[in-house]
Chain A
């Protein structure tokens, strides 16, 4: 298992380094001089030049890349031009919205999807299976931001149970924060749950056709126990893969939902920073998100090894 994990870890690390080069290179070729943008169109060329020097923009690309990546390694993401505060603080400030939101949606989607998938697989071909999978098929097709609009209309405008948008922060206690993340989490979770339910069902059906399931049933083990203990565990690999992908998607993919609900999350930070050409912020946010995707994928690899003993021995 150590060899398997070491190999996955090295691949993750290499991907991260190459990704940092890509991020840096893409923003390097961007049109627009950050110094010029900060000072405005009427600034004197001398002032722009002085600021370029101060920001280190006149140094060779390789040196600037090394300085940037060296900073990232010790948690120094640089300073934002527009917010004039350290990028790491901006990210931390926004992450306390995005991370709880992603976790809430993932939890919701899992709690809905696994039982639905299990139930549908156990009642394969019956009316309840057809109805559930039909609903999942529609769920997959619903854009989450449209579902969000419908939720706002029903629960915020009409029933007035929750706020229609905005985020009060966590200082006033947990509940107001949770309350304002409730609708966004549901909006994000529904399409994800529909996908996850379909994957769970088909993974289970595949496993239920195996000989060891028949053996377990033949020796008199109750259906319920076979389903939960034998089938679900063996069906977990594809389910975990999708959950890993979904968590990564939820962390970064909330950008539209954050706009719908006016939530100050990471996606909106990146979106606003790019329109203001605050490149150091964009670089920081994208790197954090890419690193989380890579980390989540690595954790999924670790989880494979935990649920599948064959992987622990092989490789």
Chain B
């Protein structure tokens, strides 16, 4: 018997696409996420108007045929700003998830493989980070080290580390006593090699699902930070900043507050649906009761 026969992920490969496309959450999530990603990509080549171009004559125009979502107090086209702002949201959230995965997954796997006092120390350290209110701490970090997209990424990323460490550790701990791991150990493979060859592929789906969830939370956190003026700095448009600008002008131009908010909701909704769908398809044990 070869080790790979026990690998659940290889056995389920053929039917997985068909299963995925039969899942309503997954399909809706993929469509929304792809549309947002496409919008961000298109914004690099084309936007209806130039967002760095301030046309005072066109300021505070309500939605009309020339400006579908209206214009802001500088005469910038809201639709164009939302398109360019999506880049910022996506970039911050993706890198923050990358930081969380890049540090958290090795830590979690290490804790699971070593066990004993190291595991205890790492997990207590995890509890420690969880004791710090994430949003407030992110606000502090960006306020201390200066506002900007890079510091926002770091502030959000730090709080992703314990999340991924916990998921990776739980997944890895459940795998270590399994027969296919035992046989790999009996064959003389070291813990690092086993983690790379057997543990990681088997927890990849859990990590992917968690990654989607953290991505969505990252979008929300970035919007919050940039609402406070701590995220991407003007003239780079960001959804949170647009909402901040809209607040003082809400009496005269409520439409200013509508569209950036809707953009955030749709993006986060798409990612959450994608995450739910992925979990149903990839990990039948965690399948939501429906």
Contacts and interface: CB of A to CB of B under 8 A. Distances in A.
A190 interface: no
A150 B133 contact: no
A279 to B, nearest CB: 10
A275 interface: yes
Contacts of A14: 124
A186 to B, nearest CB: 16
Interface residues of B, number: 40
B91 interface: no
B247 A149 contact: yes
B128 A18 contact: yes
B135 A253 contact: yes
Given A153-B250, A249-B133, A145 B289 contact: no
Nearest to A149: B257
Interface in A105-153: 124-125, 137-138, 140-143, 145-146, 149-150, 152-153
A274 B272 contact: no
Given A138-B269, A152-B250, A256-B227, A145 B243 contact: yes
Contacts of A293: 130-133
A274 B143 contact: yes
A282 B140 contact: yes
Interface string A246-273: 0011011101100110000001001100
Among the interface residues A146, A267, A293, which one has the most CB atoms of the partner chain B within 10 A? A146
A19 interface: yes
Interface in B106-145: 124, 127-128, 130-137, 139-140, 143-144
Contacts of A140: 268, 272
A282 B127 CA distance: 22
Interface stretch (B159-167, B201-209, B216-224): B216-224
Nearest to B135: A253
Contacts of A248: 133
Nearest to B220: A143
Given A19-B128, A157-B250, A282-B140, A256 B135 contact: yes
Interface string A158-195: 00000000000000000000000000000000000000
A206 interface: yes
Nearest to A272: B143
Contact of B132 (A251, A267, A290): A290
Interface in B82-118: none
B251 interface: yes
Contact of A205 (B130, B246, B260, B289): B289
B181 interface: no
Given A149-B243, A251-B133, A15 B223 contact: no
A252 B143 contact: no
A14 B120 CA distance: 13
Contacts of B143: 271, 274-275
Contact of B133 (A157, A282, A289): A289
Contacts of A146: 223, 243, 257, 260-261, 264-265
B142 to A, nearest CB: 10
A294 B124 CA distance: 13
Contacts of A124: 289-290
A150 B259 CA distance: 12
Contacts of B264: 141, 143, 146
A150 B227 contact: no
A252 to B, nearest CB: 3
A137 B124 contact: no
A206 B289 contact: yes
B48 interface: no
B140 A270 contact: yes
A241 interface: no
A22 interface: yes
Contacts of B290: 124-125
B191 to A, nearest CB: 28
A218 interface: no
B154 interface: no
B135 A255 contact: yes
Indicate the member of A11, A22, A137, A143 with the most B CB atoms within 10 Å. A143
25 contacts: A11-B124, A15-B127, A22-B128, A30-B144, A124-B290, A146-B243, A146-B261, A146-B265, A153-B257, A202-B289, A205-B289, A206-B289, A252-B135, A255-B136, A256-B228, A259-B227, A259-B228, A274-B140, A274-B143, A286-B137, A289-B133, A293-B131, A293-B132, A293-B133, A294-B131
Interface of B: 124, 127-128, 130-137, 139-140, 143-144, 216, 220, 223-224, 227-228, 243, 246-247, 250-251, 254, 257, 260-261, 264-266, 268-269, 272-273, 288-290
Rank and list the top 5 A-B pairs by shortest CB-CB distance, nearest first. A252-B133, A146-B261, A141-B268, A205-B289, A141-B269
Given A137-B273, A141-B269, 20 more contacts: A11-B124, A15-B124, A15-B127, A15-B131, A141-B272, A142-B265, A143-B220, A143-B268, A145-B243, A146-B243, A149-B246, A149-B247, A150-B257, A256-B135, A267-B136, A267-B139, A274-B143, A274-B144, A275-B143, A290-B132
